[in-house]
Structure 1
């Protein structure tokens, strides 16, 4: 298992570097680069969406999954955890630079999806688990290495906290890949990628401040989309 460690190290190193040199980073860079990363997330999302094979189960998974997320208040739970982590970390380090609590929580949720729930990370972990090839996760690590310091320059070391859920998710997918992958069809993987792409698109719009999509509440859709795709293909395909 190489990719999860490399990706985690990239986020950790980038977060620490950004938190340390944050005040010295040009204000224009701190303001404009997140827009670039949001645009990149939207581009990646579009590229993933067009892979769809069975549109109906993808839409159904997105709607039902988002409804479940709303019912259990998933985003609110994540925001509460983020707020507590900010308080603890800022007691030990310098406070975040010029960012309100509301903006901090919005960015934290968007980053959690970007770092932990992106299609690249999920599919890359499963691919390495099946083939031993960590290329996709290494590519993601390179992107995260440049993304993390920009956000950490204003949000502080709390960005580094995302390493924990990121590594746990990638490690579980890596270890479970040998059990999961044989059950998947190419169409199921394509629909999974498409669903992840829709969430990535919403994440990019949120990072750019265009629309505050409840992206964390959409995460359960990733669990539902492959079973829905399999059932749809079985009975209506």
Structure 2
């Protein structure tokens, strides 16, 4: 049973409800302060995942090559288009709050959908749980997502809770794919995979606190290429060194 996925989906669903019910009582200072803490927590989770890496050179290759692939394929743009399509579907059932202009509401909704359904941390955590059953990353992310959903729910209303539905579908699909990949991996490959995911979480942390807007969506392919690069490095390059 994907405990991490269930926990993450429930965190967003109930966080959106809590935010919608208590939003008027939350000051902007509180929202901004919590957002900064989300960023530092994401970076701490990333550093924790990077530390046990096995092949630093392979990880560096994967980060550069994977990010290059994402940028060349305009993956970030494609993800935003997909989120926009989800937003249009959801907006059929829920109207923008009176305090929001329609365009601003739609843009904010796209941002929230990408954050919850296609973030690097979520994809990394789901693949990790699917491969070895470790739900730690997703459970930790769920804590952050709950409070993020509260803040977004305070601004956007109950519509934030509905994002839990597409998120459940996307993360479950990734979980099942990871089950197929895991038999092809080795323990060292898993450590390198976790390190790449950790780098993505550090980059996400910088984005959250608006220090540097790393192209995290375009960086997602590095979690795919790290497996073959790590295998090639250990089997063909290391024996020559």
**With structure 1 as the length reference, what TM-score do the two structures score?**
0.81
For the 8 Å contact 1:74–1:217, the answer to whether it is kept is: yes
Does the residue aligned with 2:119 lie in a helix, a strand or coil? helix
In structure 2, the partner of 1:179 is 180
Cα pair distance change 1:97/1:39, threshold 3 Å: farther
In structure 2, the partner of 1:124 is 129
Equivalent in 95, 98, 106 of residue 93 of structure 1: 95
In structure 1, the partner of 2:14 is 13
Displacement of 1:37:
0.4
In structure 2, the partner of 1:146 is 147
Cα pair distance change 1:102/1:93, threshold 3 Å: closer
Choose 43-52 or 73-82, whichever is displaced more. Answer: 73-82
Cα pair distance change 1:177/1:215, threshold 3 Å: closer
For the 8 Å contact 1:49–1:193, the answer to whether it is kept is: yes
Displacement of 1:55:
1.3
For the 8 Å contact 1:202–1:215, the answer to whether it is kept is: yes
Does the residue aligned with 1:236 lie in a helix, a strand or coil? helix
Q: How does 1:25-36 map to 2 (within 5 A)?
A: 25-36=26-37
Which blocks of at least 5 consecutive residues in structure 2 are unaligned?
Answer: none
Cα pair distance change 1:204/1:140, threshold 3 Å: closer
Displacement of 1:136:
5.8
For the 8 Å contact 1:42–1:201, the answer to whether it is kept is: yes
**With structure 2 as the length reference, what TM-score do the two structures score?**
0.79
Which blocks of at least 5 consecutive residues in structure 1 are unaligned?
Answer: none
In structure 1, the partner of 2:70 is 69
For the 8 Å contact 1:30–1:154, the answer to whether it is kept is: no
Measured against aligned partners, the alpha-carbon deviations of 1:132-182 in whole angstroms (never above 9, x if no partner) come to x76664454344323321233335556546535543343234434553223
